[in-house]
Chain A
Amino acid sequence: MGSVTSFFGGLCGKEVKIEEERLFRANDRPYNLSYQYANNAIRTSKYNVFTFLPLNLFEQFRRLANAYFMFLMVLQLIPQISSLSWFTTAVPLILVLSITAVKDASDDINRHTSDKQVNNRMVNILIDGELKKEKWMNVQVGDIIKLENNQFVTADLMLLSSSEPLNLVYVETAELDGETNLKVKQALTVTGDLGDSTDLLGHFNGEVRCEPPNNRLDKFKGTLSLDGQTYSLDNDKVLLRGCTLRNTEWCFGLVIFGGPDTKLMQNSGKTTFKRTSIDHLMNVLVLCIFGFLASMCTILAIGSAIWEVREGSVFTVFLPRDQGVGAGLTSFLSFWSYVIILNTVVPISLYVSVEIIRLGNSFYIDWDRKMYYPKNDTPAHARTTTLNEELGQIKYIFSDKTGTLTQNIMAFNKCSINGKAYGELFDFSGQRVEITEKTERLDFSWNQLADPKFIFHDHSLLETVKEANPEAQDFFRLLALCHTVMPEEKKEGELYYQAQSPDEGALVTAARNFGFVFRSRTPESITLVEMGKQVTYELLAVLDFNNVRKRMSVIVRSPEGKLTLYCKGADTIIYERLHPSCNKLKEVTTAHLNEYAGDGLRTLVLAYKDLDEEYMDKWRKRHHEASTAMDGREEMLDELYEEIEKDLQLLGATAVEDKLQDGVPQTIEQLAKADIKIWVLTGDKQETAENIGYSCNMLREEMKEIFVVTANTPEGVKEELVNARRKMCPESADEPSVISSRAGLFWLQKIERVEDEKVEGEYGLVINGHSLAFALEKDLHLELLRTACMCQTVICCRVTPLQKAQVVQLVKKYKQAITLAIGDGANDVSMIKAAHIGVGSVVRYGHAGRSLFRDGYSFAQFRYLQALRAGHALSYPMCKSYEYFFYKLHFHLVVQFLVTRFFCGFSHSPVGAANVDTVRDDGKDIADYQSFAAVGADLPADRHERGRILRQVHNHRAGGKKRRQFDFRLGTEVITVGCTCVRPSVIPQRP
């Protein structure tokens, strides 16, 4: 479609030159208009009333099947050529065209209405220093607009100022990337100072220079020039269209991209059409058949010419020849007549039938209750009809972790306080009791502010807290104070926490239920309700978390005036900073931590430190100096933090369960049985990823070895990879054996593949982002591939979205295997697009990832993958349909060509009443194929087992070495030929 419009655009000379850089000034419409940037109106519709018919027909005739039918119909309209009446082709063609047109039209009408609705939404624009309500579509680049809480972001904005302290803004990006947690954006201080003063904002005349419109959701590069100063802009300062403002009263933003240029729109619509391998095979076959048809028609035309000369010129008594029509012309005309009469040879109707089968199958996917998730009312949804038959041939699955394997719900599961572990249940004899759904839950009804959804089973912890055990109370006090969660209290007593990471939310919720309710926060204070009593702590400093520090601390002053530093962080980091007096406690806690890690829990260690007033005063002064310093601010702050976070007193440890989705281990086991390799590509840190690997059965204790690649140099990575390979397979060749071959249409495409290498026993591989970056380089990627493919399980941690896609492409390219990628967030899109089959794990029906999962499948739970793969794989029935088709083709062909032609003077008489034939054939074909497909898709056999066999059957057909199935099709061929011979003779002799 795009090419059509650009084609027409090119005709009209309106081709817009490609934008290389965007430059505009705030509050300067005339200046900005000179660049002709798109305004904020969007148009997702394809047609209008006048263009619908021509454009839609053009679209439809670009499909080979329709064009071919049209061509046939034109031929049939020529009386000298026509052998069948034209309506045998016209009726089905018009039917197909009009059904498609009606569907397209209704789709387009829907798009028109939704466009209209979106374009007419109202927003406050600052015009001439005054706020005016305007329609979305009238917003221009360079306008300043005001957004209020819970409003949709109008366009891609540069954040100027907000109601929140530090110019923060919270946005929900579910619409854009499917992630439901809030994200924080922060304005530059210079612009933040403008506040909500329309006067100041009205005179804001910054000039923005930034990248041209693109579809990268996670990157933005630009600069703001203001009063001779230049400030750099990054993704943190940009609000994208499609997000929703949350927990922020108001904010002002400067429009950078409008309408079609926004990242949301840039991400939508451009779907790369994924074709299946059967499609490719089919195209090759059809081309061969066209060649075959042409040669047959040529033979027959030549035959016709010979007959005309030898017999026809004599047989004129009863059939006079037309004047001037020689044998040459007759044979030329009969060539085209044969094209018509032998059209059943060309499996164009098969294309239509196959489309219908696929469509039906995707309906079955949508309808399947086995893939319906009742908890959030989400049925599975097939957004593609073409990929169904590849589902049975998947060999590699690439999965995201968070939200895909796990629920992305963290649950406070266990803890260790002052050397005592809580969270397990024991019966009277001291045996550990399995916690199930039915296990009695703790009753938190004494606490009015408790979260009813919080579940905990161990009574002893609650009792300990209620006994006013000081360590336990400090433990939960710390959890309630040391975090970045935002509370939201819409009604008295109804608290909602907006957490940036679900871990934090889980911990704060735990504290809340155990009587340390985090109620509200200001930049200077945090208010808790401690065991029913309201307490306000003065917040002196926040030593925030980053990937290097791996810890977070707060310094607070209690109402009694006691100064305390509370710190939580990764065990290794905190342990380095503990006071020697806690060594004994440390040992006990370490034992607990190891236990937790073994269970696949995410752990944090908590510690505190009492501070004295005098030291604190000094430290605060230095802190203030450091944070206002122009040079080396970061280093100075780090140093200060380092200084104060030492000699900590160990409190205990928390264990948060990153809850696996139901049935994940079982599904993974079944997939592994079906010989499918699973690679987990996650942005999480190595420990977490490994934990999840264990808990969902991908890494197993009985694995011979799990290799961990963490080197930071190319040489190191290579060495580790080669060592791993040597261990698995000592006799493997040094150089990878890359087999070059040709494939595709006329074998024009060059392909390279790396053979699988056999390995005894099961291995796992864990590789981190740094190493992966080196391993994906040209000189190492084959090493990575060879080593990784020897392993049963591969876990890549700390990977960027780009690397995810690269990994998928690597496997796709060199293994020539069908890949499936499943993920739930924006960071998985590239991976999903790269893989043959994309699956979106969606949170909410109809909402999440509107821009993401354009084609492929979506459903709510990872475990449905198995149902999808085994239950709806179309390859087997599809192959059967194709086989049946070619069987039928033989039949027609032999009768039409070999038998009849030679007896009727090579004239194009159809066998039987051909118009009836055509209609009946088409109808029957579709019914036959459908029943074939339906029967094949509905074998009540053990589904995963069948899936495996399907893949093996396929592999065998694709030229695998082992012939596993005894092939009886030869026998069927004999019958075909036999029947064909018999058929003309059973045409009854006239009485």
Chain B
Amino acid sequence: MVKEEKEIANRPDNTAFTQQRLPAWQPMLSAGIVIPGFVLIGLAFIGIGVALFVTSRSITVLEIDYTGIEKDSPCYKCSDSDAKNCVCNLVFSIDSLFEGPVFFYYGLSNYFQNYRKYAASRDDEQLSGDLDAFTAPSDSCSPYNYNSNDKPIVPCGAIANSMFNDTFVLYRVVNGAKQLVPLDGKGIAWWTDYNVKFRNPSVTPLKNAFNNTVKPIFWPKPAYQLDTSDPANNGFINQDFLVWMRRAALPDFRKLYRRITDGDYAKGLPAGNYSLTIAYNYPVVSFDGRKKVVFSNVSWMGGKNEFLGIAYLVVGSLCVLMSMVMLIVYAKFKFPEED
């Protein structure tokens, strides 16, 4: 008996895995599958493309540049870097109802938030409320980690330092009287940023956490005073701060400023004249940048984006075209089936 056992000691196990009997499937790319497959994929792409394109066309966008390079621009006076606390007024009119909910963006061009050194210039530990990082910001923030007196800067880094600080107030002009359009600044940042990634230190009052630190050089007010109207909207979880800290992927970008959802404006902006009062603080002229405000509504596919629809249409048509070519090639050079 022992001998018998010994004799089969080296026999491989009989399992589906060792004997390579696991179920497997492999597509056989024959003409009968590939050509119809291409047609189907192509048609699906064209369908999606048409839907995207039509939806995108229905979205209304209103863009107004207020950089103030041109002499006739209302903000011309403010574009001079010497002007302090400059306010300019932008007047525009809407012909028909601007369907809501309307999103109010500010836009910057020729602005490289995606530039590697800029993008890396932040301290995520600090932004997550780590008090150790308050006293010793990371080197990645350099040169915005300490001020000239060797005091730590909080929040440190180039991104925070360059936070967009123009503010806007929108009025509807009815019979010459200005009517304030309420702007909603809640919930404009990413949920994860607001709830997970950015945390205020658990110190009350918040101000105490910032003892022995200084505000970023370009900031007029420290982080705990970003929103004087709402104490909960301060520090690192200030919505505008969060929006800014989420870097744009391309050098021409727009960021959400407010939503217009309240009261009379829930259905959108009615036709009429509007006046936008801009506190012009943010310098862009030195690097040929442009600033603009954008009003837009959104659809199920997001904001206006005609390229996406077109891309789908092009790829879809290419697929169909390829299937035609393959069909012709197949018909002409039909190869005898393998036996």
Which residues of A are in contact with B by a Cβ distance under 8 Å?
A: 79, 83, 311-312, 314-320, 337, 364, 366-369, 372, 374, 377-379, 845, 871, 903-905, 907-909, 934-939, 949, 963-966, 968, 970-971, 974-975, 978-979, 981-982, 985-991
For B11-39 the 0/1 string (1 means CB < 8 A from A) is: 11110001111101110011100100010
Some 19 contacts from A to B, beta carbons below 8 A apart, are: A83-B116, A315-B110, A315-B111, A317-B162, A319-B121, A367-B12, A369-B11, A369-B19, A379-B12, A871-B20, A904-B112, A904-B250, A907-B119, A968-B29, A968-B326, A981-B315, A982-B312, A985-B307, A991-B256
Among listed B87-95, B145-153, B222-230, B280-288, interface-contacting one: B280-288
A65–B314 alpha-carbon span in the complex (Å): 40
State the CA gap A909–B251 with chains docked (Å). 13
> Scoring B residues 286 to 321 as 1 if CB is less than 8 Å from chain A, else 0, what string do you get?
111000000000100011010110011011001100
Partner of A364, one of B20, B118, B315, B326: B20
Quick check: B14 and A369 within 8 Å, CB to CB? yes
Contacts A367-B18, A372-B11, A377-B7; A935 near B305 (Cβ below 8 A): no
Contacts of A367 in B (CB 8 A): 12-13, 18-19
Residues of A contacting B13 in the complex (Cβ-Cβ under 8 angstroms): 367
Q: Which residues of B contact A974 (CB under 8 A)?
A: 318-319, 322
The docked-state distance in angstroms from the alpha carbon of A939 to that of B27 is: 11
- Are the CB atoms of B114 and A318 closer together than 8 Å? no
User: In the bound complex, how far is the Cα of B320 from the Cα of A335, in angstroms?
Assistant: 41
Known: A964-B335, A986-B308. A905 touches B246 (CB 8 A): no
A871 and B20 alpha carbons, distance in the complex (Å): 10
> Once the chains are docked, how many angstroms separate the CA of A372 from the CA of B18?
13
Q: Could you list which residues of chain B lie within 8 angstroms of chain A, going by C-beta atoms?
A: 6-14, 18-22, 24-26, 29-31, 34, 38, 41, 45, 103, 110-112, 114-119, 121, 139, 143, 158, 161-162, 188, 246, 248-251, 253-256, 283, 286-288, 298, 302-303, 305, 307-308, 311-312, 314-315, 318-319, 322-323, 326, 329-330, 333, 335, 338
Most chain B beta-carbon contacts within 10 A, residue among A937, A978, A986: A978
Distance in angstroms from A381 CB to nearest chain B CB is: 9
CB distance from B7 to the nearest CB of A (A): 5
Closest CB-CB distance, A321 to chain B, in whole Å? 9
- Alpha-carbon gap, A369 to B161, bound state (A): 69
A989 touches B305 (CB 8 A): yes
**Residues of B with C-beta under 8 A to A315:** 110-112, 115, 287
- Which residue of the partner chain B has the closest CB to A979? B315
Q: What is the bound-complex CA distance between A508 and B114, given in angstroms?
A: 91
CA distance A974 to B161 in the complex (A): 45
| Residues of chain A within 8 A of B114, CB atoms compared | 903-905, 907, 909
Asked if B249 and A987 sit within 8 Å, CB to CB, the answer is yes
B22–A938 CB distance below 8 A: yes
* Docked CA distance A934–B21 (Å): 10
Residue in contact with A366 in the complex, picked from B9, B12, B286, CB distance below 8 Å = B12
A905 to B248, CA, bound (A): 13
Which A residues are in CB contact (< 8 Å) with B319? Answer: 974-975, 978
Are A317 and B286 within 8 A (Cβ)? yes
Which residues of chain B are near A83, meaning CB under 8 Å?
116
**Cβ–Cβ < 8 Å partners of A379 in chain B:** 10-12
Docked complex Cα distance between A315 and B111 (Å): 8
The docked-state distance in angstroms from the alpha carbon of A935 to that of B112 is 47
Q: A966-B333, A971-B323 are in contact. List 9 more A-B contacts (CB 8 A).
A: A337-B116, A368-B12, A368-B18, A377-B9, A903-B250, A907-B116, A935-B26, A975-B41, A979-B315
- Assembled-state Cα–Cα distance A374/B8 (Å): 7
Chain A: CB-nearest residue to B38? A971
Q: In the complex, how many angstroms separate the beta carbon of A559 from the nearest chain B beta carbon?
A: 43
A982–B326 touching, CB < 8 Å = no
CB-based contact A935/B24 at 8 Å? yes
Q: Which of A311, A934, A966 contacts B22 (CB 8 A)?
A: A934
Least Cβ–Cβ distance between A646 and chain B, in angstroms:
53
Nearest chain B residue, comparing its CB with the CB of A987: B249
If A374-B11, A909-B114 touch, does A319 touch B158 (CB 8 Å cutoff)? yes
Which B residues lie within 8 Å of A991 (CB)? 103, 188, 256, 298, 302
A531 CA to B6 CA, complexed, in Å = 39
For A79, what are the chain B residues with a Cβ–Cβ distance below 8 Å? 139
Give the 8 A-B CB pairs with smallest separation, nearest first.
A907-B116, A978-B315, A318-B162, A904-B114, A367-B18, A367-B12, A315-B287, A314-B287
Return chain B residues, CB-CB under 8 Å to A965.
335
- Which residues of chain B are within 8 angstroms of A971 by Cβ–Cβ distance? 34, 38, 322-323, 326
Contact A968 B115 (CB under 8 A): no
A990 and B11 contacting across the interface, CB-CB below 8 Å: no
CB-nearest residue of chain A relative to B19? A369
Residue pair A319, B115 in contact (C-beta under 8 Å): yes
From B21, B26, B298, name the one whose CB has the most chain A CB atoms within 10 angstroms.
B26
A904 in contact with B246 (CB, 8 Å): no
Which residues of chain A are within 8 angstroms of B45 by Cβ–Cβ distance? 978
Which residue on chain B has the smallest CB distance to residue A988? B302
A317 and B287 in contact, given A903-B114, A968-B326, A990-B255 (Cβ under 8 angstroms): yes
Q: Which of B11, B112, B298, B311 touches A985 (beta carbons < 8 Å)?
A: B311
Say how far B209's CB is from chain A's closest CB, in angstroms. Answer: 26
The docked-state distance in angstroms from the alpha carbon of A378 to that of B12 is 10
The chain B residue sitting closest to A973, CB to CB, is B322
Cβ of B22: which chain A residues have Cβ within 8 Å of it? 934, 938
A968 to B22, CA, bound (A): 28
